[in-house]
Amino acid sequence: MIFTLPARVASHPQTFIPHLFYALVHLGGFGLLALSFLDSSPLFLPLGNDLLLVVLTASKHSLFVYYALMATAGSVLGCLTVDALSRRGGEKGLERIVPPRRLNYIKSRIKKNAAWALAIASLVPPPFPFTGFVAAAAASQYPRRRLVLVVFLSRLARFLIEGTLGIFFGRRLLRLARSPVVLYPVAALIVVSIALSAVAILRWAHHGKTSAAG
């Protein structure tokens, strides 16, 4: 079973958005790696990597474990980026990543039991603030190796579950994923996420220069 764009969408090259999602599908595991990295960076892409994982697994059941591992690897790499920024900035830098209305709640969960808080945040889908928990754990100097291990195991479990859903409900999910009603919003989120991630990187770099100058 191969994922293809609907004829009325594929026949119009200027429709960049659905073609972007289609390109990510054809990148396979590397598309998952990139999208999962963005999802776990300071600016996440809600459910984008989850949908891509399900579509890919539904298309090729035999690569089920490979896709889950690539998604997990991308997520861990994104978390390492958040860890590096937050660990250096400490609790004062958390406000740049975590919304103020959630900051106290996340900090209290991390202080109570960081490992469980990270595991739950890794398993639960958006809008649960996964990146915020990683940032808070790093800012509180939770050991990096433990953070990576917890995130790796929890994310792998999540992606294996989603891949299983892709295997059992593949045909129905692929029909839904091929619909322009789904393709356009999902791919639009990808474009917005990439643009905002670039802005965030520039903002972090500017803040770093300002801090160094001060």
Confidence grade of residue 88 (pLDDT, cut at 50, 70, 90): confident
Which among 159, 154, 153, 134 has a CA at the least distance from the CA of 144? 134
Confidence grade of residue 83 (pLDDT, cut at 50, 70, 90): very high
Q: Give domain status of residue 99, yes or no.
A: yes
Number of domains in the chain: 1
The full length of the chain comes to 214
Q: Give domain status of residue 70, yes or no.
A: yes
**What is the per-residue pLDDT for 155?**
95
Q: Give domain status of residue 7, yes or no.
A: no
**What is the per-residue pLDDT for 46?**
58
Range of the domain at 70: 31-193
**What is the per-residue pLDDT for 77?**
94
Q: Give domain status of residue 17, yes or no.
A: no
- The arithmetic mean of pLDDT across residues 182-197, rounded, is 64
Q: Give domain status of residue 198, yes or no.
A: no
* Mean of all residue pLDDT scores within the chain: 77
The pTM is what? 0.74
Q: Give domain status of residue 207, yes or no.
A: no
Q: Does residue 157 have a pLDDT over 90?
A: yes
